[in-house]
A and B are shown apart, each in its own frame.
Chain A
Amino acid sequence: MPAGMEQVIAQMRRAKDQLAEAAVTAMRAKADFDEAYKLYFQLSEGSANPNIRRAASEAQTAAAKAGRYANLLDRAQRHYQAYFARVAPAANFGSPSGVPSGEKLLSDAGRRASRREQFLRQQVQKADDTQDSLSNFESNAKTLVDYFKKLPDPPGATSSNPVKVDPAPTTERVDVDNPITAVAMAAGALAIALKATITNVKKNRERKRRSGNES
């Protein structure tokens, strides 16, 4: 597996863990909203006051939407899993442990050779399709590092920057006769084209601040 793809897989595992954790936490919140709804609903049964009926309705919708949030995160994870099963089957992205066992790696070794060739072709094709992936690879990688410096460290993160791409030798050799092909593979695999999702993080901070003032 090329170094670029290893980096992608490592980052995506972290993303997958975060999305899974968020989904579980959201479902716990949903359970709280459901319990509150039951109380509001029981109270509304013996009351002519429309407010408690509406409170029950709002709590019920909050619970449904929290559940939908968790389901959407799960759906996103499943699509990423399907994607990596196609483009990098050897990476075992969908394996529960996150780290394929030695036995699994051995049994995969035979299949991997042909898949690697297919994967290489796909990635080179993708790199060709992405107009700036080759020429801007280095600057884009730097932008990516800058972006992640802005993100708060996840719990248990080491001080080393997880996005820094070291030209470390890969343990698995990939046979490429042309060095530019190797770069194309890395660029294609990373598919770096930064968009403004940073605003998502900022939006979240602002929301957190707002809701913090309210409660």
Chain B
Amino acid sequence: MAVDDIKSDLNRARILMMQGKAGFEEAAETGVQGAALALHTVQDSADDDIEKAAAALKAADDEVDRVLSRVNAAAELADAYRDAL
């Protein structure tokens, strides 16, 4: 594969990663608002569904930082690969 073709693919991948990152940040922003509203509106520690819903929202919130750090890591590694070409 020619270096120019590789660079072209890397650029496409980078655009996809940044587009995905911006989209995911938007999702996380909307998600945290919905979660805060839901958690404040209904609280019932004795109810199984409410507890499971709250646990799912917490677990979702935990994933946000993980997604973003993976995206950043992928982009940096791809950059390092391109620099070595």
Contacts and interface: CB of A to CB of B under 8 A. Distances in A.
Interface of A: 8, 11-12, 14-19, 21-23, 25-26, 28-33, 35-36, 39-40, 42-43, 46-47, 49, 51-52, 54-56, 58-59, 61-62, 65-66, 68-70, 72-73, 75-77, 79-80, 82-83, 86, 126, 129, 144, 147, 151-152, 154, 190-195, 197-198, 200-201, 204, 207-208, 211, 214-215
Contacts of A32: 16-17, 19-20, 23
Interface residues of B, number: 64
A26 B61 CA distance: 12
A100 to B, nearest CB: 20
B60 A76 contact: yes
Interface of B: 1, 6, 9-10, 12-14, 16-21, 23-44, 46-47, 49-50, 52-54, 56-57, 59-61, 63-68, 70-75, 77-78, 80-81, 84
Contacts of A39: 9-10, 12-13, 16
Q: Which residue among A49, A195, A198, A200 has the maximum number of chain B CB atoms within 10 Å of its CB? A: A200
Contacts of B52: 75-76, 79
Contacts, number: 232
Given A23-B27, A28-B20, A33-B17, 20 more contacts: A15-B34, A19-B34, A21-B34, A22-B31, A25-B23, A30-B20, A35-B13, A36-B13, A36-B74, A55-B77, A58-B77, A66-B24, A69-B27, A72-B59, A72-B63, A73-B56, A144-B40, A152-B33, A200-B32, A204-B32
